[in-house]
């Protein structure tokens, strides 16, 4: 089945130790998104790629970076994780940007920072 | 500014009907999505409305009034597996989703 896959499902890192989260998709969608979601809060958009065009949200900290080496893969790099970065990180895709383009989410990576 | 308002938590009984309301203020409007999110899992798509009125899809229906900035999700014949958070998310003029914090729905036997 075509899908969005995130690895790992759970990630534990140490304060200040760089960590990379990965996402892959077999849907051949043009748009890929990274969201951060903390408990009982709305998902917060960090970045999105429309094909190779990178879009950084204005309030995304510099500590967060992203790479999309090809259509299928997208990575989220957290250069120096702090305790406040502990959250669920959700990767999502959509076929294009537009009115009725629903998002397909991966299962998420729950990040813990010790 | 952009704002989504939905109740934090609701409780309903198995087999009953529940309506989850959402009011929104966005810069422009290109439709509204409802997503379901079980605890510890990713959101899954439920519905999309862009025109006024009611869209029915099985046990779930979604209503939109653009002039009032209002939507609701109606869940019928509630089942225990419907216990989840329900997120309202309108699309603004830039086709950006503006997410609400979600309504946690608790179903009791």
CA distance A88 to chain B (A): 8
Question: Would the pLDDT of A2 be above 70?
Answer: no
Question: Would the pLDDT of B56 be above 90?
Answer: yes
Kindly state the average pLDDT of the residues A68-83. Answer: 96
Q: Which two tokens stand for residue B44?
A: 């899954």
- pLDDT tens for each residue of A19-72: 999 999 999 999 999 999 999 899 999 999 998 888 888 899 999 999 999 999
Residues of B in contact with A97 (CB under 8 A): 95
Question: In the prediction, which pLDDT does B59 show?
Answer: 96
Question: In the prediction, which pLDDT does A73 show?
Answer: 96
* Residues in Cβ contact with A81 at an 8 Å cutoff, skipping those fewer than 6 apart: A13, A14, A15, A16, A17, A18, A19, A63, A111, A113
Integer Cα distance of A107 and B92 in angstroms: 26
Question: Would the pLDDT of B1 be above 80?
Answer: no
Question: In the prediction, which pLDDT does A1 show?
Answer: 66
Q: Mutate one of B97, B105, B106 to test the A interface: name it (highest A CB count within 10 A).
A: B97
Question: In the prediction, which pLDDT does B109 show?
Answer: 94
Question: In the prediction, which pLDDT does A58 show?
Answer: 85
Helix, strand and coil content of chain B, in percent to the nearest 5, comes to 5, 55, 40
Contact B32, B39 (CB under 8 A): no
Classified as helix, coil or strand, B80 is: helix
- pLDDT tens for each residue of B4-39: 999 999 999 999 999 999 999 999 999 999 999 999
């Amino acid at each position: 089945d075509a899908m969005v896959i995130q690895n790992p499902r759970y990630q534990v890192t140490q304060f200040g130790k760089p960590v990379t989260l990965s996402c892959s998709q077999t849907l051949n969608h043009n748009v890929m998104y990274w969201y951060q979601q903390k408990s009982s809060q709305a998902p917060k958009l960090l970045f999105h790629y429309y094909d190779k065009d990178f879009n950084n949200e204005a309030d995304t900290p510099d500590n967060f970076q992203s790479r999309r080496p090809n259509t299928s893969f997208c990575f989220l790099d957290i250069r120096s994780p702090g305790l406040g970065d502990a959250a669920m990180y959700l990767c999502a895709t959509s076929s294009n940007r537009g009115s009725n383009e629903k998002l397909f989410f991966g299962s998420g990576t729950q990040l813990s920072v010790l | 500014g952009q704002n989504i308002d939905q109740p934090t938590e609701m409780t309903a009984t198995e087999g009953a009907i529940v309506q989850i309301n959402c009011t929104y203020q966005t810069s422009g409007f290109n439709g509204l999505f409802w997503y379901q999110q079980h605890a510890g899992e990713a959101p899954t798509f439920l519905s999309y409305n862009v025109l006024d009125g009611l869209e029915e899809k099985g046990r779930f229906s979604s209503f939109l009034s653009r002039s009032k900035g209002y939507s609701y999700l109606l869940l019928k014949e509630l089942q225990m597996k419907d216990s989840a958070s329900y997120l309202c998310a309108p699309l603004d003029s830039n086709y950006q989703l503006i997410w609400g914090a979600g309504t946690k729905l608790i179903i009791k036997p």
